[in-house]
Structure 1
Amino acid sequence: MKKTVVLLLSLILLAGCNQSTNKDNTDTTSSSTKQETSTEAVTTNLAETPSESSEDDRPAFGMLKEDQGKLPPVVDGVLTVPGQTTKFDYGGEMELLKIADGGQYWLGPLAVQVNDIKLFKVTGLPEEAQNKISRISGKKVGDEFQYVQISYVVGNTSKDNIQFFGLETVVLGKSEQIMTTRNIFKDSFDSDVFYGESQQSGLATLVFDKDASLINEIKLIFSSVWKADDLSQIESSGEVTIKFE
């Protein structure tokens, strides 16, 4: 009888140990599975997180990303980038075709600062304006034409009064020559006499026939320089060639 009781107790204890071992194994397996699932979730989330934009993808200062690659807006009607357009003073629309930066040049005591040179194309010009510009420029102008604009400033660095007529001739490319007496807009020089240590601004606007795409350079020919008091010549006429990049 004692042997039977002892045997039963042994079986009960053995069954309890097996149950505890199975529970531990189940908990360990469950914990491992949870860790793997958590790791997979983290990995997936990292893969789905979008990377930051590189500097090359960022739009230029002052522009929205969707406007990247587009022409900048025109400010106060001044065209600064080829392709920009605005209204033309006599009607129709004008487009900037080419632009070249100038520089500073010396003619005796005169410092000539060429600001820029621009080639424009005008379209949709009214008939009345066509007749007016044809008469001023000496060229037959239709509803579409091209013109060059040269903006410059002349400063007299001496105390003497100087006589100077400014820009006299423009040569486009190596062929088309235009006298500045054919300005379609009034030249802004108030006088051909530059008093001591004074300056004046000049603006040449000239109609041309040559295909603008074939113009790679422009030659500017300025007048001679004299002393205004006795008309003695200080410097003969000067010229400069500026290239379109």
Structure 2
Amino acid sequence: MFIVQLLLALALLGGSDSSNDTTSTQLEVNPLLPHPAYSELVLESGLKPFRSELTYKGLEPDYNQFEQAAKILQDKLLESALPPLLSKSGDTGTFDYGGQLKLLKTVPLKQSIEFGPLTIHMMDAQLLEASDIPDDTRKNISILNHEDVGPDITYIKIIYSVENTTDQNIGFYGLNSIHPNTGKPISADRNFMRKPYVYHQYDGVVMDNMGYGLVYTDDPDKLESIELVFNRIYDYDTGETIVEPTSLNIPFTVQK
């Protein structure tokens, strides 16, 4: 079941594949080693959930522009076909939100990392280029990105699953930010691939699939690595911190 869930998450969050014959050197990634995140890397904008817990429980329905934009994009994603993922640099396909898609760089991670009571199953990190994006999709991506985007964008996509391996009630806001080796850091609150009404409570043994699409505005040719910063993990009932914010460095260059 675990493998099926991950494969389904990859399919839902991927692009429609019409791969060309472009070949690329397979990137071999050494085991990812988590380490405490420097305080200056933890962005304030990525510390909190997108919405209140009351909204999720239906007590205070929230129809703000961010939830509406997320729902519209998620509906488009769910309506799209589920072909194989783009897997090699140069592969092209259809952007599930409308337009064309090209894979620029990819890191096949397939690694599981323990963060206290949680295990994060890292799947893929990709740099993609979407073009000919229709106006309605551009509008909703712009809302979630907090800045206007044009008909063509470059973005970083991260896919992982969170598994609570204990019977403890755990709170975790997920990814805080991405710090490329070049350019400015990107806060996770700009995620245009997020699900509407995201919940951040992991009560008992449970797993949740997460996808992030974050617009990257710097030179894609100069992107050599990204540092992922995850928010703290805490006891949901008491608020006590269990694991401080943690970083993972992911290379986008071939390792010797």
For the criterion TM > 0.5, the same-fold answer is yes
Within the candidate set 88, 93, 97, 2:95 is matched to 88
Gaps of 5+ in 1: 1-68
Q: Report the counterpart of residue 130 of structure 1 in structure 2.
A: 138
Match of 1:105 among 107, 113, 127: 113
**Within-5 A mapping of 1:111-126:** 111-126=119-134
The superposition leaves residues 47-74 of structure 1 with CA deviations (integer Å, 9 ceiling, x where unpaired) of xxxxxxxxxxxxxxxxxxxxxx9249xx
Deviation at 1:180, TM superposition (A): 1.1
Q: CA RMSD in A?
A: 2.1
> Which consecutive residues of structure 2, in runs of 5 or more, have no partner in the other structure?
1-19, 24-81
Q: 1:202 aligns with which of 195, 210, 218?
A: 210
Runs of 4+ displaced beyond 3 Å: 187-190
Would the alpha carbon gap of residues 171 and 211 (structure 1) be closer, same or farther in structure 2, given more than 3 Å must change?
A: same
What SS does the aligned partner of 1:181 have? helix
In the TM superposition, residue 128 of structure 1 has moved relative to its aligned partner by 3.3
1:149 matches 2:157: yes
**Whole-Å separation in 2 of the counterparts to 1:232 and 1:132:** 36
TM-score (norm 1): 0.66
Partner residue in 2 for 1:70: 21
More helix by share: 1
TM-score by length of 2: 0.63
Deviation, 1:139, is 2.7
* 1:132/1:190 CA distance change after superposition, 3 Å: closer
- Are the equivalent residues in 2 in contact too, given 1:171–1:220 (CA < 8 A)? yes
1:29-40 matched pairs, under 5 angstroms: none
Partner letter of residue 96 of structure 1?
A: L
Residues in 2 aligned to 1:171 and 1:189: alpha-carbon distance in whole angstroms: 26
- Aligned to 2:199, which of 188, 191, 202? 191
Does the 8 A contact of 1:82 with 1:99 survive in 2?
A: yes
Percent identical pairs in the alignment equals 26
CA contact (8 A) 1:189 1:200 kept: no
Please give the secondary structure, in 2, of the residue aligned with 1:100: strand
Alignment size in residue pairs: 175
Residues in 1 aligned to 2:245 and 2:122: alpha-carbon distance in whole angstroms: 16
| 2:169 partner letter | N
Structure 1 counterpart of 2:242: 234
What's the offset of the Cα at 1:190?
A: 4.8
Q: What letter corresponds to residue 167 of structure 1 in structure 2?
A: L
Name the aligned partner's letter for residue 170 of structure 1: I
